[in-house]
Structure formats: structure tokens, C-alpha cells
Structure 1
Amino acid sequence: MVMLVYFLLLALVVPGVATPLVTIIVSRHGIRTPYPPGGEGNLTKESMAQYTTKSFPPCWPPGPESSGVWGSSITAGLTPHGGEQIRLMGRWMGTSNFSGVSCDDVAVYADISSSRDNETATNWTLGAFPTCKALHQEEVIKGDAKQVLFNDGSNQELCGFQSSKVIQSFLGGGKYEALLNAWKSQIQLVDSVVHCCSSELCPGHLPCNLSSLPIKYTGKFWAATEGAFDIAVFWAEFFLLEYLNGNPQYAQGQLGVSDLVDLYRMAVENIEIMDDHFASRSFESTMASHILGTLLQAAERKPIPGLSHSQNTKVVYMAGHDTNLILLRLLLGLRWQSHGWAQNGVAPGGMLIFELEQRQEGGPVVSIYFQVAQPAQLREGQPFSEPQAPSRVQVAITDCPGDPFACPLDAFKKMVISKLRPECIGIPALRDLVENHGAGSVPWPAQYWWTFLLTGLAAFLLGAAISWFIKKRRSSSLSSGYSSQELTS
């Protein structure tokens, strides 16, 4: 007993032991049913027929006849298996990270224009805070109907994308041979499964396969092109979702998990063509300023206008899109490598976590983590445990002038503000916050005007003191009775 008390006291005085102030979780929605080719309309067998010449089983695509396989007939809707996976992740985090957090200290945000995001939020809180019944209702979600906070490029009222000329430069220009060749092996692998395409898609081109499908620039916020690359991305995501959802058959039984993970890189690349570094400042400045405001509010313990949660909030959960995670990564200059996924992968249920801790020596510091279940964990749907925990990797804050794993809040604030475009922040009060704290973006001489003033005043006073001292010495010498000639001899 004495030893136990000793170690408890030791833990309280060891330098560097941190006390959490707030945790912000920016999460992608859980496993969903696929979008249709091209990303618009409903997913039907008829809409898919032109992209394959094979006869697929009833689970292709999800619909009323195959709801027993997918669990849902809604296009791009959260599946029951996906909802269960989010609850399991919430349960793991609630036990591991938030056992001491009360119901009143949790805030939930979501893109309420998306039912799957609402369902993701309520499933997570059901797992993380099972006794907090109010948190399990969509009515408590702090919404973002105009997609200002969870902007994926669909809201361009304040800021937009770069010119088509800039975006096409990322594609290699011309007839997009560079894009096609860069992903040639993946496109051919997809085609070996689906045997694309119907002759109407490539008139005059024989054979009509996925590689010969013409690529055209569209500049849609969810995809820059249509044709070979975009359709290959559709199938790659379809195969992965089949596997993750636990469907008995995936990719016609012809591909392994490593193939699915590799093909999914195309989906991330496809998003990043439009949602690049330029777009991150246009569409993620609001989200980043909201995160910064939450950190400052928790540290200063006083309300910050523009936030819909109080300074006492300990956990902020934000259910959004893969796009939000990608844009935040690009905006803040982050990168991660999770178990089971390609670098910077943003699999369903993946989350970027910001933690603010109060160090016993020094002020508050910010740490960032990326957390996601591994592919097999998502498919099997087993509860997490210590031996089978989700992948959680610490993300280096590369532009922090201090410790990249424990960045001082003041340094983090200056870093974030330097990357934002205030005119793109869709919440006026947060725009004011950034502008009022934006001294770090002012040119160096103007930023430190007070330093020049004090330095000048100090120099003046020092000069006056030296002058007085010299005059005093001269006066003392003359009063000693020596002549000037004697003093210099």
C-alpha cells in the first residue's frame, strides 16, 4: 500500500506528465454502399452494365434485391456493418480515452446534409458514451447544412478551385497519357476482373477496354476527369467496400486484400487532383480555424465566438468526409502511415485526432494522431482489445518550430494562421479570431514595432547616461587643480 501511494505521488511530480484539456476527432464516415460510376444518380444494374461485359451476382450493385448482402439499398448510405464498426471504435475509445468524461462535456458536429454522417456520429457516441442517451439522437448534432464547416468543394460561395489550367497541369495535360500510364498496371488489373466496356463507350476504338476509354476533363469537385481513370477508381472503391462490408464475395473472388489496398490509392489520388494544396486553403480554412478556436478556448477557459460548444467541453467529435481529412492533411503539411493501408490512406472510419495537453513544465501543447481500423478488422467486425487495437500513429507537426510531437499551443496557433485564407472562413466570428490573432502573418518590422520603440528608448537613455558620466568625470578632473597641459603631459 505504501509503495502504491509512493508511485501515485511520483506520477504527479514527474516532469512532462500531461493532463488532457480537450480532444478533437475529425472522422470520416463509416463503411457505405458505393456511389454509381461518375458519382451521380442511383446505382443500378443498368447504370453499371456499360462498364462491364460480365454477369455479376445479385450483390452487384446494392439494391432492393441485394439488401441482404449489403444490408442497405441506399446509394452511398452507411451500411449496418459500417454502423457497427463505428460503434466498436467508439466503445474502444470511450474505455481507453474518455472514461472520465461526462455526458455534458461532449460536443458532436456533422455535415447534416448527409444522412450517413449523422448516422456515423450517433453510432460513435452510442459506442463511446453508452449511458449518454441524449448524445445518441441526431437532434443534438451541431449541424452544417450549407457545408461551410465540412466543405468538400461543394460550397464555393467564398472561395473556389484553381483554374482548370492549373488542375490540368497536375494531370499531365494533353490527352492524359501520363495519367493513364502512371496507373496502367492498376487499371489493367481492374479490367481483368470486370472486362470493361460496352462498345457504346468508345466508338471506333477496338478493343473497347478500360485502358482505351477516352479521358475527358470535367473539373467536378469530386472528380477532375471522366473516362478510364475515373471508372477504374469506381471499381477499385467498389471492390474495397465489398470486402470491408463483410460481403461473402468481393472482386469476383479474383483479388487479394493487398490488391484492394493498392487499388484504393487511386481513389485518394483522384480526390487530391481537385482537392490539392490550393484547394485546402479555400475549403478547409473554416475547419482548421474551428479546430484552432477549440484548442484556444480549452486553454484559456473562456468562450470563443463562432464555436457552438463551451469552454468546458472535453471531447469534440466531427463526422465528415474523406475529403476533409485529405484537405486538413494538405493544409497542415501532415503525413501518416497506418497499419494495413497505403501511406496517407483515409479508409472508412479513419480519424485525425488533435489533443491538447497541459504539461506540468511549460504551457499547453498540441499532439496529432491518425487512427483507423485495419482492413481485416473492418471486415470481421470484432470488438477491439489490447492485442487487437486499431492502428493509432502519432503524426509529426512538421512546421512546428518546437517539438513536432508536442507543439506549444502558441507556436501551433501561429503555424495554422499562417496557412489560412481568412476570406475563405465561412464562420464570421472565426474569421475575426484568425485576423485578431494574425500578428504572425504581419511582415517582421511591423510585427515588432514595439521592440524598435523600446530599443530606441533604451539606446537614448544609455547615451544620455554615458554623456552625463563623461561630463561628470571632466568636471571632477578640472576641480582637482591640474591644468589641461599637465593632464595631457
Structure 2
Amino acid sequence: MRLPLVLAAALTFAPQPAAARDTLDRVVLLMRHGVRAPITGEAPVDTKVDGEWPTWPVAPEVLTPHGAQAIAQVARYDRRWLAANACPIPGSVRIWTNTAERTIATGRAYADALAPGCDLPVDHNPAGKVDPLFEPLRAGATAFDAGKAVAAITAYTGGVNALTARHADAIRELDRVLGCGLPAGCSTPGPATLTPARDGRGVELTGPIRATSGTAQVILLQYAEGMPMVQVGFGRADAATIRRIGTLHAALFDVFTRSPYMAAHQAGPLGAHMLGTLTAAKAPRLEMLVGHDTNVTALGAALGVDLDAPGFARNDVAPGGAVALKRWRGRKGPYVTASYRVQPLDAIRSGAATVVEIPLTIPGCGVRCPLDRFDTLLRAKLAPVVAG
């Protein structure tokens, strides 16, 4: 799917050169939504705990007010790329989100802080219409083969039993936090299996990683939300613990997004769209795409990079964390730089205006990659979008 491209020549960016006398002229970001309440069943209902799960201020899956405030902090940081304090020319900034409430609300919080009082539009598909940018497998946007996917994931991970074994220490740490005290552990995952989804549009994972990954994420969200520490992980999880058990959530992406085959299909439509924005003669000067952790990890894998941020396990994408692709005008022609723009976990928790931007080195191209070379490298890692 392609979004309409518009010219915004009058919008300029604040000086932020990657090299002397180079000019930044276009930025495209793919961001995970902000802090939300847990998804129903994210921590499996049969998980045994010593304590009570805390109450959230909003319904399941919904962006919290605290999460919206954190998104506003990153939007104010991103505003540094806009030179003028006046409202952007209509169409010069484009914000496109998935259809979930948490992504739409994130887009709205971002727009209102990026350009206060300017009523920037936040666009998305109508409710009930699957967006192939953010849910390409469900939309059938690529020629995905679930059998090939299972084989590719098995080759990448060494198999689901090996994946489980690598994370045995984190599973034990999570059991300590849950506090059930049972020798068999606090979840009842059953055997680890990886099979094609029945409809052929994905893969299905069972076992310890599937059973524990969501629980680890829920505890991280409690901390990010700023809940009292007595409520975070039943009072048994500090920041260091949360980072360690976060490897369980990151392990989920080893299955669903980070093998070359899964990355190609999960990032195919989004990657092609972002390349289109970077290379088109007429395009928004600033584009924000708001999706999910699966989207960001798939793009990172397609780029051949890991996503690291203070407080988070490697490749466990932060709420509000974004991969930023920037096009520069250099003396030898246009080139692209990539970075991971993110708030540290403690900054999200405290509400601090702390944002870090971590440069990403693209394999085969380095830190500054000629635009045509970048287009060729990334496109080669993406599954083609099929006509729908």
C-alpha cells in the first residue's frame, strides 16, 4: 500500500549535519506506540502469582495518560528537526498510524506536542480494515509461505527447545518475581512447538517463551507507567530485574520478526513505503508511522541492526521507540543515516525530558549510506508487495 506523496518544500529542518555543510532534508520514522495497559491474556490467566495484579487507569490495550505524556516528550525532541516555530505547512508533516486505539492515540499525542495548537492531522485506515503496512501477514500483502517460515525460524533460532534453553535463567528469574514457589514454575506452558498457522498467514508458537514473554512485558509496563515499586512485579522487580526478564519478550521477536525470512515479510510493505518516501521527488519532509514492536523489530532486522536502549533488553523495543531514517544532501549526493530514537526506561517512568538517539551502522554501507546504495541494500532484504 502506498500513501499519497505531497511536496512540502517550504518546511526546513534545524541544523543537525552529519558532516560539515551537509543538510538534512527528509526524515521518516517508524515508532512503537506508547505505554499502554496490558492486552487481555498478555500475562496468561493460568499464571500463578503471590500477590495481586495492579489495577490500570484505562481499559486493556489503551494508551495511558502517562504514556501520552512520554510520547509528548519524544515529539518535543523530534521538533528540533523543524526550524520554524510556526505551524508546518499543511501536508508537510504526515502522521499515519495503525487502527488500534493505542496507535491512534499515540499519533494524536505526538502531533499535539510536535506542533502545539496546529491541529496536525493523524490519519489511519477505518476501523475494521486491516492495514498492510502494519499487519502484512494478516493482510496477505506478501507471498508469505508459513511452512518456509517455520523452517527459516528453526534455522535462525536452532529450534524452539534451544531457544527456551538459552533463556532458562530469565525464566527462573521471572518465577522468582511471580513468587508462586512451585518447583515446576509459575506458568503452565506445555511443550514448545512452532507450527504454521491454520490460515497460513503466520506461525503459531507454544511453550515457555510464549507463556512468559507477555508476563515479562506486563511487568515492564508497570514500571514504565510509574506505578509504586510495591506494585511493580509484586514488589519483587527492580529496574535491573526488568531488563533481565525483558530478554523473554525480546525472544518472541526471534520467532516472529527477526529471522531473515520473517523480517522480509513483516517489514516488506513498511520498508518499501519508507524507501518510497526517502527517494520520491515529492514527499513529506517529516513522516511518522506509528505501529507496534513487531514492526520496529522487523525493520531493525531487515536493516541488519540490533536495537539497544538504556533499561531495555536488546531488541525489546521501548514504548515510543522509533527507527529514524534521515535523508541528507551532501556534496557527493544524497545519503541516508539511521538511528534508534528512544527514551530510557527510567525517563519514561519518571516523566523526564530525556531522549537519546543512537546511531545505527548499516552492514555493507556504514553510518552514512548513499541513497541509491541504501535503497538497493534494504530493498534486497524485503519481500515484494503483491497486488491486492
Q: TM-score range by the shorter chain?
A: 0.7 to 0.9
8 Å contact 1:271–1:323 — kept in the other structure?
Answer: yes
261, 270, 285: which is aligned to 2:252? 270
Matched, 1:410 2:372: yes
Q: Give the secondary structure class of the aligned counterpart of 2:137.
A: coil
Aligned-residue offset at 1:355: 0.7
Q: Distance in 2 between matches of 1:242 and 1:314?
A: 36
Matched, 1:341 2:312: yes
Q: State the one-letter code of the partner of 1:345.
A: D
Q: Distance in 2 between matches of 1:371 and 1:194?
A: 32
Q: Distance in 1 between matches of 2:286 and 2:233?
A: 39
Q: Distance in 2 between matches of 1:365 and 1:180?
A: 41
Q: State the one-letter code of the partner of 2:109.
A: N
Q: Distance in 2 between matches of 1:369 and 1:172?
A: 29
Q: Distance in 1 between matches of 2:52 and 2:193?
A: 30
Aligned-residue offset at 1:347: 0.9
Matched, 1:209 2:209: no
Residue correspondence of structure 1 range 355-366 to structure 2 within 5 A? 355-359=326-330, 361-366=331-336
Residue matched to 1:200: none
Distance 1:335 1:187, change over 3 A: closer
**Residues 302-338 of structure 1: CA distance to partner in whole angstroms, max 9, x if unpaired?**
4xxxxxxxx3x21101101111111111112123433
Q: State the one-letter code of the partner of 1:269.
A: A
Residue matched to 1:250: 232
**Residues 1-48 of structure 1: CA distance to partner in whole angstroms, max 9, x if unpaired?**
xxxxxxxxxx9xxx83122211111100001111233x5xxx8xxx63
Q: Give the secondary structure class of the aligned counterpart of 1:153.
A: helix
Residue matched to 1:460: none
Residue matched to 1:392: 357
Residue matched to 2:175: 191
Q: Distance in 1 between matches of 2:369 and 2:208?
A: 43
Quick one: percent identity of the two aligned structures? Answer: 23
Where does the alignment leave 5 or more consecutive residues of structure 2 unmatched?
1-14
Residue matched to 1:16: 20
8 Å contact 1:367–1:405 — kept in the other structure?
Answer: yes
Residue matched to 1:286: 269
Distance 1:407 1:23, change over 3 A: same
Aligned-residue offset at 1:415: 1.7
8 Å contact 2:300–2:307 — kept in the other structure?
Answer: no
8 Å contact 1:224–1:270 — kept in the other structure?
Answer: no
8 Å contact 1:210–1:232 — kept in the other structure?
Answer: no
Distance 1:405 1:31, change over 3 A: same
Q: Distance in 1 between matches of 2:98 and 2:110?
A: 15
Q: Give the secondary structure class of the aligned counterpart of 2:29.
A: strand
Residue matched to 1:126: 112
Mark the structure with the bigger radius of gyration: 1
TM-score (norm. length: structure 1): 0.67
Q: State the one-letter code of the partner of 1:52.
A: K
Distance 1:285 1:164, change over 3 A: closer
Which one has a larger percent helix, Structure 1 or Structure 2?
1
Q: Distance in 2 between matches of 1:53 and 1:395?
A: 39
Residue correspondence of structure 1 range 162-201 to structure 2 within 5 A? 162-170=148-156, 172-173=158-159, 177-196=161-180
Q: Distance in 1 between matches of 2:205 and 2:276?
A: 36
Residue correspondence of structure 1 range 22-421 to structure 2 within 5 A? 22-37=26-41, 39=42, 48=45, 50-56=46-52, 59=54, 66=55, 70-72=56-58, 74-94=59-79, 96-100=80-84, 102-104=88-90, 105-112=92-99, 114-135=100-121, 140-143=122-125, 145-151=129-135, 153-156=137-140, 158-160=142-144, 161=146, 162-170=148-156, 172-173=158-159, 177-196=161-180, 207-210=183-186, 213-217=189-193, 219=195, 224-248=204-228, 249-275=231-257, 276-297=259-280, 301-302=281-282, 311=283, 313-359=284-330, 361-382=331-352, 384=353, 389-400=354-365, 404-421=366-383
**Residues 423-476 of structure 1: CA distance to partner in whole angstroms, max 9, x if unpaired?**
x356x8xxxxxxxxxxxxxxxxxxxxxxxxxxxxxxxxxxxxxxxxxxxxxxxx
Q: Give the secondary structure class of the aligned counterpart of 1:109.
A: strand
Q: Distance in 2 between matches of 1:29 and 1:378?
A: 13
8 Å contact 1:286–1:425 — kept in the other structure?
Answer: no
8 Å contact 2:30–2:324 — kept in the other structure?
Answer: yes
Q: Distance in 2 between matches of 1:17 and 1:133?
A: 33
Q: Distance in 1 between matches of 2:368 and 2:154?
A: 38
Q: State the one-letter code of the partner of 1:257.
A: A
8 Å contact 1:354–1:367 — kept in the other structure?
Answer: yes
8 Å contact 1:51–1:196 — kept in the other structure?
Answer: no
